[in-house]
Structure 1
């Protein structure tokens, strides 16, 4: 993911239609070149190069997510179903990577039935990020851990039983895409990784702060949390409170 040794770096700038220079980011810069507090009036170049086009409200969502990340504020993206929360999230994670703010790793936990859609959207909107889908039975997951979690041999002890990742091991992927169930089942290995950002799709699943999923995620080392739900107030105010309590328990006790 770091690129081939000796490969010449591509130009960071290109000529814009207005005659000036536009920032192009084929490879993440070592030092961030874009202030995440700045507001994009139009979608950035790295989004243009995917061939996709964000709606105005999705660009507003991207600006809000980037600003919240810069302020250290965990967030709930609560656009209604069908408005593209997945797309906004992927472009947000891609912006952190492409602008040099963070290379991850990012953890995306989603219902098993939606993971194939996440894969498809990552391929379109975040083509430069290395995304690993972590699903399957014990044997399948053991193969994924052995081959896709780190560049280093013996970063995780082999075999079907799950052990912790070594602290000094270099993470191979940018994004790990997995199901709710495996966040619980494989908490030993997943909970030993320092996650730059957690994304929980259909986060109303966290409506009960006594749920096992809720309690286990609370034990994960997470720098930033983003919850996605189209129904933050589906039944009552208490459900929203549990989401806020998960995000910032010191403020919402």
Structure 2
């Protein structure tokens, strides 16, 4: 009788992609926890590499241990890892990504503002992906967007950042319970109770990006707020104008290193609006970039 596993089209490739992800996320953790005791075949088995065929495609690769580029140096053209996607940034998008990269290097929180249609989503994804691929940050990155735009964000991440493992954290109570149990960490016991949004007891998460809605930021704060986020991205950030909103108050309790706000509502050089935006998400020394097509 033929092996049942072989009857499932794409199963073997999916399993190998899973092992790639595990290796990419846990390579450092395995090395530290075993203190060099497991080598060769033992370590390969730990990372799921033992059964891999040499010609098998890789989906996920770990980033460099140290930065390999200078964020102060502008891109004259997009890097090879973006060329490999078959997609190209427009010149004004390249300028926006350069500005975001420079601001990150300076530790300056940012607001990317302009009318809809200029590709703020693409610029943001290319920016986060560049930090990862060039060794400046391994994440994790928290992206909070309106529920109606999540499908678009998923599609753009798949196209522009194929090495990213993106977890979409939405759904009813049971759905989110499954996500917490299976998608947040490879470590046993990292999530104490999957049925309830409790603190994650690990710093080695399974994903690169957690894509979620405003509502989940507030509802599951106990879980999501227990992680240290390398970057927070808030889409349609003009909704944060009131510093008395629940979303604003909850975000202030999250442990976030860097913040990027996106808005398609023109700020019109209004200093009062600048002040509202700067205080709404505790942006320190923030810069606002308003590109034109």
TM-score (norm 2): 0.75
- Out of 38-47 and 82-91, give the one that drifted further: 38-47
Report what 2:39 is aligned to: none
Shift of 1:249: 5.7
Structure 2 residue 192 is the aligned partner of structure 1 residue 157 = yes
Report what 1:11 is aligned to: none
Q: 1:122 to 1:155 in 2, by over 3 A?
A: same
Larger radius of gyration: 2
Which of 141, 163, 177 aligns to 2:176? It is 141
Alpha-carbon distance in 2 for matches of 1:181, 1:95 = 28
Shift of 1:238: 3.7
SS in 2 for 1:43: coil
Aligned pairs, number: 236
Report what 1:40 is aligned to: 75
Which of 88, 96, 102 aligns to 1:53? It is 88
Aligned alpha-carbon RMSD (Å) = 2.3
- How do 1:183-202 and structure 2 match up within 5 A? 183-202=217-236
Shift of 1:240: 3.2
Alpha-carbon distance in 2 for matches of 1:208, 1:232 = 17
Ranges in structure 1 where 5+ consecutive residues have no aligned partner: 8-25
Alpha-carbon distance in 2 for matches of 1:151, 1:234 = 47
Alpha-carbon distance in 2 for matches of 1:45, 1:87 = 16
Ranges in structure 2 where 5+ consecutive residues have no aligned partner: 1-20, 25-46, 53-60, 287-293
SS in 2 for 1:210: coil
Report what 1:127 is aligned to: 162
* Contact 1:112-1:179 within 8 A present in 2 as well: yes
Report what 1:173 is aligned to: 207
Deviations 1:38-87 (CA, angstroms, capped at 9, x unpaired): 10011111111111110000000010000000000000001221000000
Q: Which runs of 4+ in 1 moved over 3 A?
A: 2-7, 234-240, 246-252
* Contact 2:64-2:133 within 8 A present in 1 as well: yes
Alpha-carbon distance in 1 for matches of 2:89, 2:284 = 35
Alpha-carbon distance in 1 for matches of 2:176, 2:207 = 15
Alpha-carbon distance in 1 for matches of 2:243, 2:171 = 27
Q: 1:232 to 1:193 in 2, by over 3 A?
A: farther
TM-score (norm 1): 0.87
Alpha-carbon distance in 1 for matches of 2:96, 2:248 = 26
